[in-house]
Structure 1
Amino acid sequence: MPDAQQPLHVETRVVTLGRPSSEPDQPLNVPVTLTSTFIAGGDLEYGRYGNPTWTAFEDVLGDLEGGRCIAFASGMAAIAAVLDLLDAGSKVVAPRHSYTGTIGQLQDSERRGRITVEYVDIADTEAVVGAAEGAALVWIETPTNPALEVADVAAIAAGAHAAGALVAVDNTFATPLLQRPLESGADLVVHSATKYISGHSDVLMGAVVTATAEHAEAITSIRTLRGAIPAPLETFLALRGLRTLPVRLERAQSTAQELVRRLSGLEGLQEVRYPGFGAIVSIVLPTAEAADALASSVRLWRHATSLGGVESTLERRRRWPAEASTIPEGLVRLSVGLEHVDDLERDLRSALGA
């Protein structure tokens, strides 16, 4: 029997948490609970308020992040829930390079007069802390998508709190295995569980993890009122994917690091961007045409948006009109999957020479 005083390793917790009791004839996995209504007198009552399948997923991800997890229908719904915490007229500080969905929500809220937004270079800690004066929320994405800039979460959180601002961190790229923002002072962590958490490109889901019970209650209330709830089947699949996150991420990160080593200095590439951890790499080609040619010439890599699946994907990010104009036209974001590094490298080299 394991020593009750000895904390379990993350690889063990991700497999063992959120499971039914070990009594005879209990299922090994939490079943998919497909119901809209529960018998009155308990804590659930109605399907918009809770679901046992959600609870299992939330127990695991909440433990990994060190907080309280609330699951959502998508990453966008999770982002929207955090912004819903703000009073009208609030100032938000956000990275100039962020997920286009985040930027889109901020711009839409600003157009409607709900908030004002100041965009910053998230890697410039002094500038971020300076901008936090008078802000209600500092939004951190680290590494940024797709520029892969890295923020000093602890320093920014300290400065933001001194200015009276909340701190939210999008931890989708790093996952709680590589970065735990709540331990560095963040108040809220957001995930697109569509990506590494589920890991198989078959689920749309999101999550918010809070440091305090007060924020957990507020975020849960927003989910209940707005109805942005995850479907039980999607939650079951996301939890199944989460069980293998440590082995998937370890392999993908190892391959990404080796791929960066092999691609650095390769003719035809102006730049290889990699933050030193994770499985996302951005390469910069001289022109948009060159980047598009690469995307259309690869055979093993899949030309597709999104990321974090077992398959390797790539795309030129400026093909999206909402992408920041400061992102190079020729930047191609690579999401490194679980294929062999030799095959991935060979495919890229072949496409670059096409």
Structure 2
Amino acid sequence: MKPHLGHDKLGLDTLAIHAGQPPDPTSGAVMTPIVLSSTFAQERPGHHKGFEYSRSGNPTRKALEECIAALEGGRHGFAFGSGSAATATLLHTLRPGDHVLSGDDVYGGTFRLFDKVMRPMGLASTSVDMSDLDVVREALTPATRMIWIETPTNPMLKIFDIAGLAEIARAHGALLVVDNTFATPVLQRPLDLGAHVVAHSSTKYLNGHSDVVSGALVTSEDALAERVGFLQNAIGAVPSPFDCYLVLRGIKTLGVRVRQQCASAALIAGRLAGHPAVQAVHYPGLPTHAGHALAARQMRAPGAMISFVVRGGLPVASRFLERLAIFACAESLGGVESLAEHPALMTHASVPAAAREALGIADGLLRLSVGLEATEDLWNDVAQALDGAQGRAAGA
């Protein structure tokens, strides 16, 4: 029998390739098979080999769930058909009358779920800037059962103190949920810092190739995991076996991808900060960023997402996006290809205009997802688009 090493003894890059993915016992295939069967034969009624119906469980999905759980250092992993499906399923662990305290800067689809889907069902939510822990304490209510954050946030790239928020949540008897999509377990592991649940849009960095929509939850809370498992099966928002295979395939290169993307993003952010067409740059790796010191403590690198404000507002921002040659103007993030988008008109259009303005999601704000193209090629593309956008907006 081959020796077995515990996950706590292996590095992330090793876990990404091997966790939940031993060679297939039937054929010896080193790549996890795609099991497309919707149902599984039982030896006799109620006695099966761990699988009975693919909504309830599937061998390919099981491999993905074990892998993501190992990467995040959790005991239980759950895969879903999208990040929004993962969020909605987790919110169903709450009851009418419960309250969710959310960070003020979250993905527009998450805000939409809180405000337009769960609120009519009796689940209240409010949002605050969680940069100040005293503000968080004051915003808690007797009905608060969950604190939901992103860090870095989308799109303003704020950094929130996971350990500090976890302490507040536990003292209040609430769950701390951290959407770790932007950072990934390569850069931070929220469960290690005291969070109860990690959420992912695994469409993004985990898959990394912009060819599948998927989501995930990870927790080490046994009772919560039992409830989430029940809801996963009952609601049924699960990914297909082929989608699970695609995410598993993408995860194998997660570490090398994210590290290279971070290196390119740091260089581009630094140059943007010195460009005359740029009014402000939001990137945790810059010393001028309000969360720079905290990011250095709780993250291994500042990430590969950059938000910045161009001088000239919407006309210049639109012209910039039109002039890009390598960056694609598209929603989503975290793939091997570089993407650029306009949050106010695209990913965060569902957030009310007044709330966007309060957050700083201005008409001149742009968001970059830095991919794996050559770093100098990416910078040259950004620079020429900035220069051209400013010239054309001024009538040149």
Please classify the TM superposition score into its range, dividing by the shorter chain length. Answer: over 0.9
- Aligned position for 2:315: 289
Aligned length: 354
The farther-off stretch of 212-221 and 121-130 is 121-130
| Distance apart, 1:353 and its partner CA | 1.4
- Aligned position for 1:220: 229
| SS of equivalent to 1:33 | coil
Check 1:3–1:77 CA distance in 2 against 1; reply closer, same or farther (3 A cut).
closer
Stretches of structure 1 that go unaligned for 5 or more consecutive residues are none
TM-score (norm 1): 0.96
TM-score (norm 2): 0.86
1:76 matches 2:84: yes
Whether the 8 Å CA contact 1:74–1:204 is kept in 2: the answer is: yes
CA RMSD, aligned part only? 1.7
Whether the 8 Å CA contact 1:132–1:160 is kept in 2: the answer is: no
1:306 matches 2:332: yes
| Distance apart, 1:122 and its partner CA | 2.2
The farther-off stretch of 239-248 and 263-272 is 263-272
Matches for 1:122-271 after TM superposition, within 5 Å: 122-134=130-142, 135-271=144-280
Q: In the alignment, residue 353 of structure 1 is paired with which amino acid? A: D
In the alignment, the residues of structure 2 paired with residue 9 and residue 107 of structure 1 have an alpha-carbon distance, to the nearest angstrom, of 40
Give per-residue Cα distances to partners, 1:168-202, cap 9 Å, x unaligned: 11000000111111111111110000000000000
| Distance apart, 1:144 and its partner CA | 0.6
| Distance apart, 1:3 and its partner CA | 9.8
- Aligned position for 1:30: 32
1:99 matches 2:131: no
Residue from 357, 379, 387 that aligns with 1:325: 357
Stretches of structure 2 that go unaligned for 5 or more consecutive residues are 286-301, 389-396
The farther-off stretch of 148-157 and 158-167 is 158-167
The farther-off stretch of 150-159 and 105-114 is 105-114
Check 1:28–1:162 CA distance in 2 against 1; reply closer, same or farther (3 A cut).
same
| Distance apart, 1:125 and its partner CA | 2.0
The percent identity for this pair of structures is 40
In the alignment, the residues of structure 2 paired with residue 261 and residue 159 of structure 1 have an alpha-carbon distance, to the nearest angstrom, of 35
1:279 matches 2:312: no
1:66 matches 2:73: yes
| Distance apart, 1:7 and its partner CA | 1.5
- Aligned position for 2:56: 49
Whether the 8 Å CA contact 1:140–1:170 is kept in 2: the answer is: yes
In the alignment, the residues of structure 2 paired with residue 111 and residue 90 of structure 1 have an alpha-carbon distance, to the nearest angstrom, of 10
- Aligned position for 1:341: 375
In the alignment, the residues of structure 1 paired with residue 155 and residue 117 of structure 2 have an alpha-carbon distance, to the nearest angstrom, of 23
| SS of equivalent to 2:281 | strand
| SS of equivalent to 2:344 | helix
Q: In the alignment, residue 83 of structure 1 is paired with which amino acid? A: L
